[in-house]
Chains A and B, each alone.
Chain A
Amino acid sequence: MLSKELVAASTVPLVLSVLTEGESYGYALIQRVRELSGGRIEWTEGMLYPVLHWMEREKMIESRWRQAETGRKRKYYRLRKEGRKALHTEQRHWLTVHATLDRLWKTKPTLI
């Protein structure tokens, strides 16, 4: 299981990345991340919403209420242009960290 800090830091890039697959809502976003991480990334589900609202305020995403086929109303989130830009930046940063650690671990395999 990831640390609380790492989960918090990765929430925005994870949400942005899942939303590149198309419009989605809170519960489905959580399910998708759970599925992709093999259950290793677990959010306190309610905590996702303040993050989504913050991202909306920052114009990374936009939302609308829509009625699902089941008749249930849900708030759907969609990526905006700003969000795509933010995702590129996030991607660069995370890949930098990843590449650095990867090199270190390759040169000093005993660390692992």
Chain B
Amino acid sequence: MEDQTDFDLNRAIRHWRGQLGQSPAYRAENLEELEAHLRDSVSGLMGKGLTEEEVFLVATRRIGASGALEPEFAKINDPGAGAGRRWWGPFGQVPIPRRILGLMAAAATVLLATVLFAYLPLVGRVGNLTASGAGLELGEWQVTVVACLTAVMLSAILALCSLGVRFASSLTILSGLALCGVTGTVGALYSLRSQTGILNQYGHGVAYGEWWASVIPWTFALGLVGLCAGSSLVYWVVDHARRRAGIPLAR
């Protein structure tokens, strides 16, 4: 039989799996199972007068085109449909169901909104005080308010995405978290800068005791957000690279 081509069955299977793995519709375990099926199918077709390449083509065709399989796998792995796909959380190996993440984001929205609305009247009072030389500059508090508002809106979007919108992928959620972290940081930095640094030079800032009371919770909150967003991002990059290379998750 003239089967002396360059066809390498294992390489072809790896490539096929890598192609499937580019879609977020499949979990690593799905790919593992489909590969096991493909290998069984290939073994079953061997010795029937077909070349390895022909056997591979028939077996992959029988499994079905990626375009046809993808929506079915997406449906079953869709977290909106129940306990399906899980969002890999800040600690890498602890899967957080997207509903829980959505509830967390919703709680963050409420918290941020509360802080903002508690802060707004204060800003007004401080604005008045500026006239007497003791408050924040107008430009600075506007930036703080805009940043806080953006953070509220972003976490609200995140909550909506996580809780029900079907198109939200892990990437959307991660980007949302990262953006929340960035805007929160900007807001906090402006807030701190205006409360302590510059104004203190002119002797109108917040007293040291109050300064610490303000810095500690901010540092704690930002550290937490940074840890979550950072480690999730690292995990996502690693996971994406793993999927592209078609390497299964260790069990």
B69 and A46 within 8 A (CB): yes
A57 and B69 within 8 A (CB): no
Bound together, the chains give a CA A112 to CA B29 distance in angstroms of: 47
Bound together, the chains give a CA A58 to CA B25 distance in angstroms of: 20
Bound together, the chains give a CA A53 to CA B68 distance in angstroms of: 17
Q: Number of B interface residues, CB 8 Å?
A: 24
Determine the residue in chain B with the shortest Cβ distance to A31.
B44
B76 and A50 within 8 A (CB): yes
Q: Which of B34-42, B148-156, B178-186 is the interface stretch? A: B34-42
Mark contacts of B170-191 with chain A using CB atoms, 8 A cut-off: 1 yes-contact digit, 0 otherwise. Answer: 0000000000000000000000
Q: Say yes or no: is B11 at the interface (Cβ < 8 Å to chain A).
A: no
Q: Which of A14-22, A70-78, A93-101 is the interface stretch? A: A70-78
Q: Which residues of B contact A47 (CB under 8 A)?
A: 64, 68-69, 72
Chain A interface helix/strand/loop/mixed: helix
Q: Which residues of B contact A27 (CB under 8 A)?
A: 36-37, 40-41, 44
Q: Say yes or no: is A49 at the interface (Cβ < 8 Å to chain B).
A: yes
B34 and A65 within 8 A (CB): no
B40 and A44 within 8 A (CB): no
B36 and A49 within 8 A (CB): no
CB distance from B231 to the nearest CB of A (A): 28
Of residues 44 through 87 on chain B, the ones whose CB sits less than 8 Å from some CB of chain A are 44, 62-64, 68-69, 72-73, 75-76, 82-84
Bound together, the chains give a CA A26 to CA B69 distance in angstroms of: 15
The residue that B33 contacts in the complex, of A28, A31, A49, with Cβ under 8 A, is A49
Bound together, the chains give a CA A26 to CA B64 distance in angstroms of: 14
Bound together, the chains give a CA A46 to CA B73 distance in angstroms of: 9
A45 with B64, Cβ < 8 A, contacts A50-B76, A65-B251 known: yes
Q: Say yes or no: is A54 at the interface (Cβ < 8 Å to chain B).
A: yes
Question: How large, as a class, is the contact surface on chain A?
Answer: 10 to 19
B64 and A72 within 8 A (CB): no
B30 and A49 within 8 A (CB): yes
B251 and A50 within 8 A (CB): no
Determine the residue in chain A with the shortest Cβ distance to B27.
A53
Determine the residue in chain B with the shortest Cβ distance to A70.
B43
Q: Which residues of A contact B64 (CB under 8 A)?
A: 44-47
CB distance from B164 to the nearest CB of A (A): 19
Bound together, the chains give a CA A53 to CA B76 distance in angstroms of: 7
B72 and A50 within 8 A (CB): yes
Mark contacts of A26-41 with chain B using CB atoms, 8 A cut-off: 1 yes-contact digit, 0 otherwise. Answer: 1110010000000000
A46 and B39 within 8 A (CB): no
The residue that B63 contacts in the complex, of A45, A53, A54, A57, with Cβ under 8 A, is A45
On A, residues with C-beta under 8 Å from B are 25-28, 31, 44-47, 49-50, 53-54, 57, 65, 72-75
Sample 19 A-B pairs with CB under 8 A, ordered by A number.
A26-B36, A27-B36, A27-B37, A27-B40, A31-B44, A44-B62, A44-B68, A45-B62, A46-B34, A46-B64, A47-B64, A49-B37, A50-B69, A50-B73, A53-B30, A54-B76, A57-B82, A75-B29, A75-B33
